[in-house]
Chains A and B, each alone.
Chain A
């Protein structure tokens, strides 16, 4: 990529952010009427919708579990979500993998033992993709679960980080993601700082791992503050309209 510097001499990234800066986060709860909970999250140019149904009786070929709820996640990307218009059938390898990662992440946070023999569906749709699909999906799904009133131990916040020119960078966008550097994805429960999901898609030197991980965790906590603000605002509105009735 000639002529393109991911990190300028002045220490700014390609989209003008500093290495420790997140993209702008905008979020909204309760965007649909039909699902039990729904949310919309924008992180820069990555835009994700999430809808949660349940807990309800298991449908289809899902096997009931006697001691806990079954969490069913479906991740999909819209045809128009990337630069190149492409039909994206559900159930391709990449989205299946992401669905599974989402499921594992939320099994750690949802209090699954409260609803035996039931099922919770989480549907996530990426409307516009500019890197960090998984992270934005997790953040959107967390908000949707809160909107649905499903008991969770804590929020789940996810953030990515990369390492370039001896500098850890947080919340990387598509250009930075596809430049060939490492992408480290972390999901945490921000109150207890427990890591629920951690993945790295290429090699990273052991010495750098802690720096990048710390950066990603700090990013998660910043994400948490943004989500928290949205939830509190939403709750105040809801309770105000509730007490007005």
Chain B
């Protein structure tokens, strides 16, 4: 619960670290004191029994994908071993410029992971939900869709219409009724609000 709003600027001392206070986002700790590291509003929030002191900018936060976060990505390239994609948003924040991500064939689904055929799971242009598995190598983040809620959310058919999911691995074009294979995400309402 945010309370006590006031403007802080970088290098400004906020308080001492005792009394269960922890330096949160936008702050840093030095010699037992908490200092602000960005210009913004000071917030206090309770997290697992400790009071986190945060300084938040009103404008967009600089976000980076972290391990375990759900990201929205657009598929750019598919080959039998992996699928490359551009991460366009992290949780609820959309990124101003995309990060590269890669889904390896064994991370596409949790069952029969050795029998995955990449061309039956993703096609370039699909919008997918994925979880960050690791920060990966120097090139890209490694993503996974091995959960029911993760996978293709929006896909266009060959005729250009947005397809409708009909099962966990098939989508149908509303114009031509042609069926195409995808690793379909079972989108849940809380995910929808998150990515709304």
Contact = CB atoms under 8 A, between A and B. Distances in A.
Contact of B10 (A55, A56, A115, A153): A153
B11 A191 contact: yes
Contacts of A16: none
A192 to B, nearest CB: 8
B97 A155 contact: no
A151 B10 contact: yes
A239 B41 contact: yes
Contacts of B28: 111, 151, 153
A189 B40 contact: no
Please classify the interface of chain A as helix (H, G, I), strand (E, B), loop, or mixed, using the class held by over half of its residues.
Answer: loop
Q: Number of contact residues on A: which range applies?
A: 20 to 34
A150 B25 CA distance: 12
Interface in A132-158: 146, 148-155
Given A57-B100, A154-B11, A232-B9, A117 B38 contact: no
A116 B96 CA distance: 18
A32 to B, nearest CB: 14
A150 B40 CA distance: 11
A189 B11 contact: yes
Contacts of A6: none
A149 B57 CA distance: 7
B138 A117 contact: yes
Counting chain B CB atoms within 10 Å of each CB, which of A149, A151, A191 scores highest?
A149
B39 interface: yes
Interface in B29-83: 30, 35, 37-41, 57-59, 61-62, 64
A26 interface: no
A235 B62 contact: no
14 contacts: A55-B64, A64-B138, A115-B64, A146-B38, A150-B62, A151-B26, A151-B37, A153-B28, A154-B11, A155-B9, A191-B35, A192-B11, A239-B7, A239-B41
Given A57-B99, A152-B37, 15 more contacts: A57-B100, A63-B138, A64-B138, A117-B138, A149-B38, A149-B40, A151-B10, A151-B28, A151-B37, A151-B38, A152-B10, A155-B11, A235-B7, A238-B59, A239-B58
Interface of B: 7, 9-13, 26, 28, 30, 35, 37-41, 57-59, 61-62, 64, 96-97, 99-100, 135, 138
Question: Which 8 pairs between the two chains have the least Cβ-Cβ distance?
Answer: A154-B11, A151-B37, A242-B58, A191-B11, A149-B57, A152-B10, A235-B7, A64-B138
